[in-house]
Structure formats: structure tokens, C-alpha cells
Amino acid sequence: MSPANGKPGAKPVVNESGIAIQTVYTADDLAASGGVDNSLAGEPPFTRGIHAEMYRRRPFTMRQYTGFSNAADTNERFKYLIANGQTGLNVAFDLATQCGYDSDAPEAFGEVGRVGMAVDTLKDFEIAFDGIDLDKITVSLTINGSAAILIAMYLAMAEKRGFDLGTLRGTAQNDILKEFIGRGTWIFPVEPSVKLVADTIEYCARNAPKYSPVSVCGYHIRESGATPAEEMGFAFAIAKAYTDRALARGLDIDEFAGRLSFNFNIFGNLWEQVAKFRAGRRRWARIMLDEYGAKDPRSGWLRMIAGGGGFGLTIEQPENNIMRGAYYALAGALGGAQTMALCCYDEAYTIPTPKAQRISLRTMQLMVEEIGVADTVDPLAGSYYVETLTNQMEEKIVEAMDWVDRAGGIEKAVAEGIIQDKVSRHAYQRQKDIESGALKKVGVNCYADTDEETPEVELHGYDAAGAEAQIAALQNVRDARDTAAVEAALARVSADAKDGANVMPAIVAAVKAYASVGEITSRLVDVYGRYDEPIRF
């Protein structure tokens, strides 16, 4: 075997997941790590990809994250991206919507439409997706705390426009456990929050079987400080928790597992990212097919969007982010992502401009049309280094999952702030390493221009007039709707929540009556309460 870190005196190299990187890799190193999985793409355990022909048949979906101001402005940006070749939509919602507040709520003051699209009622969804063929352009809703309501709105809007819910495809993030770990747009305590996720899984399995009601989001756990292996391991622990809840409802594993999806991050070392995706695909297949006993191979697919990677971007020398985005996209493609989204070069400090979004879109298109990433399946397969690292990354992913089990399981670890503490400590150390120069960041702590001033950037300003227009539009809906029907629907939401029933049918009825996000959330809060974050760090 080769020396772990090269000749005496050579600088040790250890990746972020804690794996020592050797100077050179041989067949002996690969054999010692467990050897090569000789299955082909499209065959369990899917190390090389979940589809036999991968990008030869269809390139990865390009799904840039966008949404700002109101529904009409967001619809305009959607159509701009589609006209420029984007093949899927990834919707950003404003903070008020994410936290379950209407645009005229006191808590929403100053936030409406600042970053993300404001949504109050079904009317906003009708405007946002007007003129978009939902059978051709699939939509991902990046929403968590209020996800049940937004999923209901999306399904109601699609049904109203004549789309068949039996064949409708799309995704909602709807991963509340990572929200407690990583972002903070929670509403309810942990137990009822996870119960709501299970409600959406059960409802969609019965009513919209092609729709993916959960996209487990390691992305934000990684952004918050987790290592790449922890990102994957914690995400799998979360996915298992949702799976267990769905099974407890009497669903068969093959009835819903194939619609679970994932959202993972890309920044940092290219090889670590590629190996993370290959190892994660294999581990998830083993979890679903071996541990849970799924019979349909598709239940073992790691269906994922790979996003690159907000934390990796810098305000210093922001043009460098264009190159970073290209490398992140390359890692996603070499790792076999089905869907890809790239953070734009200006996203370190503002909402992306149309030009910046087009550059990120063109980056992905260049890879497919000019660079050759779609030419063959899993082009790094057989590399002593990549295959060894894949095996080692799978071991690290299992270590992260075992740590969660020792902490009492993912729900307990989240409810008590145990994972939040671990991830926060990683984030603190990462920032210290950037400040000390131990973690190199080009343009920040190395190759920085000493006389360079902080660049002047054009920020996306707060649109006070737009906020006022959104509030006025909400009031217009309230004035026009059937008040008695709304009250009856909201009363059903309250009753079903108190009874412990699946609240999705009641929520769907409420959004069809044009009840608002805030009104429905308020009824659920009356029953479930609000989450009080434990602080451990």
C-alpha cells in the first residue's frame, strides 16, 4: 500500500469528513477498502447511478432557485428562466410565508417580498404558475414549516387548471427536522411537526402518487456546519424517521419510498463531493432494500437535487464565484445528480440578477453541450482513488448515523438540541480556520489583493410599494371569498388537528375556500403550540 501521506515531511492531507488522503492510490488500497462494486448503473445498489443510461438518455434537470417580491414578478422570472433553457422550477418563498404569517401580520412587517415570493392564498399560486405547463416543467417548493399548506395550494391550483393529480409530478422540501438543525423556519414543536410530514406523505400516496412530498435536505445541515459525511448521514437518519412514521400509518414501503427525494450540497473538495454522492446512493439503497425490505428497486433510488453551494461563495472577489459554481456543477455531474441548481455569483450578498442566473444556467448547459459530462455513465468509476474514497465515505456516513442512534435517535437529538450543538461547533471551528488561514479561501485569506476595497454591490432593495400591493391583494381575496365556507373549513382544520387525524384533507378544503396561510397556521398553532428552541452551544 502507498504511504498515508506521502514521503516523510510531506504535508498531511485530511478531507473535511476526516479521511486521510494518500499521495497515490493502488489496487491494494482499493482492495483494502472493500473493493469495487461491480454493478452497473441502474442496478442495485446504484453506486454508479439510478438510471442505466444516466445523462446519455436525459441530462440532469436544471432547476435554479428563484422567487421574489410577489407572484406576478416571480412568474415573470420563471418564464425568463424557462425561455433560457431551464427545465424545472425551484421556488423561493419569503420569510413570512415560510413561518406561517400572512403579509399583513405584525410579524411580517418589513419582510414581505424582501427575499422570496410572498404567498397568502391560493390566488398567489394561480398567478405565479399562470402559463406554465406543469406536465412539462416540474416544480419544487422550498418550504418547510408551512409545507402542508403550500403543498395543498399547489395541488389545488394544478387540479383547478385541469392537471391530473394522478400523474402530476413535483416536489416539496417539507423537511422540518433539518429546519430545526439548520435554518430555523419552524413553527410547531418537533412532535406535531413530524406528524404533519407524515400527513403529507400519506395524503400524497393516496391522492397524488407521482408527487414527492418530502425532499430531505442535507443541504442546509451542511451549510450550518456539518461535514459532507454528516450531511449525508444525518439526512438519512431524518429520512428513516419519516419512513417509520409513514409505515406506522399502514402504508407499504413501496407505496411511498420511491417518492422520497433528497437535496444535497456541493462546496469544498471536488473528490469528496463525488465520493459522497456515490457512497450515499449505495447506502440509501441498502437502507431501503435490505433494512426496510422494499421489493421495488425504485424504492432504493437516491433521487436528489445537488445544489452548489451558498456557503462556498464569497463577497470578496465575487467573480471567483463563477468559477466556483462551475466546479460545483462538475462535482454534481460526476457524482450522478438527477437535478442540479447552482448558486449565482452574486448570491453571496443579494438576490440574483437575471444576468447572474443566466450565467449559472449557461454553466450547466456548457457542461452538457460542450464539455462532455453527458457522454458516458459514471466516468470516474474504476479510479483507485475515487473507488477507495467512495468506500471510506460510506463508512463515515454510517458512523454519522450510528452517532445519531447513540444520541437517542434523530427526533430526540433534534428536540434536545444535541445535533444543533454538534453542527454549531463545526461551524464555529470552520470560521476560525478561515480566519486563521488553516482553511484556504481564495480571494479571502490567500491570493487576496491587499489594496482591494470591499466591492460595491447592488443590493436587491426592499420594495415597500410591493408589500403594500401584496397586502391589498390579500384583502381583496378576503372581501371576495365566501366567509362562511372559510370559517367552516378552518373549523374542520382545528377539529382534525385536535383529534390527531390527518389534517391534509381539511387543509386542502381550506385553501380551496381561499383561507390564508396565516389563518390555517393559526388554527394549527392553537392545537400544537409553537416551538421553543433549546440553546446548548
Q: What is the pLDDT of residues 130-163, one digit of tens each?
A: 999 999 999 999 999 999 999 999 999 999 999 9
- Strand 138-142 versus strand 116-117 pairing type: unpaired
Average pLDDT over residues 95-119: 94
Q: How far is Cα of residue 23 from the mean position of the Cα atoms in its chain?
A: 34
The C-alpha cell that represents 119 in the structure block: 404567498
Quick one: pLDDT at residue 7?
53
Q: Where are the alpha helices (DSSP H) in 61-162?
A: 71-83, 95-98, 122-128, 147-160
Instruction: Please identify which residue in the block is written with the cell numbers 443590493.
Output: 459
pLDDT tier, 283 (very low <50, low <70, confident <90, very high otherwise): very high
> How far, in Å, CA of 46 to CA of 40, rounded?
7
pLDDT in tens, 421-439: 999 999 999 999 999 999 9
The C-alpha cell that represents 283 in the structure block: 447506502
pLDDT tier, 455 (very low <50, low <70, confident <90, very high otherwise): low
> How far, in Å, CA of 271 to CA of 92, rounded?
30
pLDDT in tens, 7-34: 555 779 999 999 999 999 999 999 999 9
pTM for the model stands at 0.95
Q: Is 225 a residue whose pLDDT tops 60?
A: yes
The C-alpha cell that represents 328 in the structure block: 460545483
Quick one: pLDDT at residue 349?
86
For residue 62, give the amino acid letter.
Answer: M
CA dihedral defined by 399, 403, 408, 412, rounded to 10 degrees? -110
pLDDT tier, 112 (very low <50, low <70, confident <90, very high otherwise): very high
19 CB neighbour count, 10 Å cutoff: 20
Q: Is 1 a residue whose pLDDT tops 60?
A: no
Enumerate domains of the chain plus CATH numbers: 47-375 (3.20.20.240)
131 CB neighbour count, 10 Å cutoff: 8
The helix-helix angle for 228-248 and 384-406 (nearest 10°) equals 50
Mean pLDDT of the chain: 94
Q: How far apart are the first and last CA of the chain?
A: 42
Quick one: pLDDT at residue 4?
52
The C-alpha cell that represents 13 in the structure block: 492531507
What residues contact residue 38 under an 8 Å CB cut-off, 6+ apart? Answer: none
Q: What are phi and psi of 352, to 5 degrees?
A: -60, 140
Residue-wise DSSP of 140-153: EEE--TTHHHHHHH
> How far, in Å, CA of 56 to CA of 104, rounded?
49
Let me know: does 246 contact 214? Beta carbons within 8 Å: no
Residue percentage of the chain with pLDDT more than 70: 96
428 CB neighbour count, 10 Å cutoff: 12
Q: Is 171 a residue whose pLDDT tops 90?
A: yes
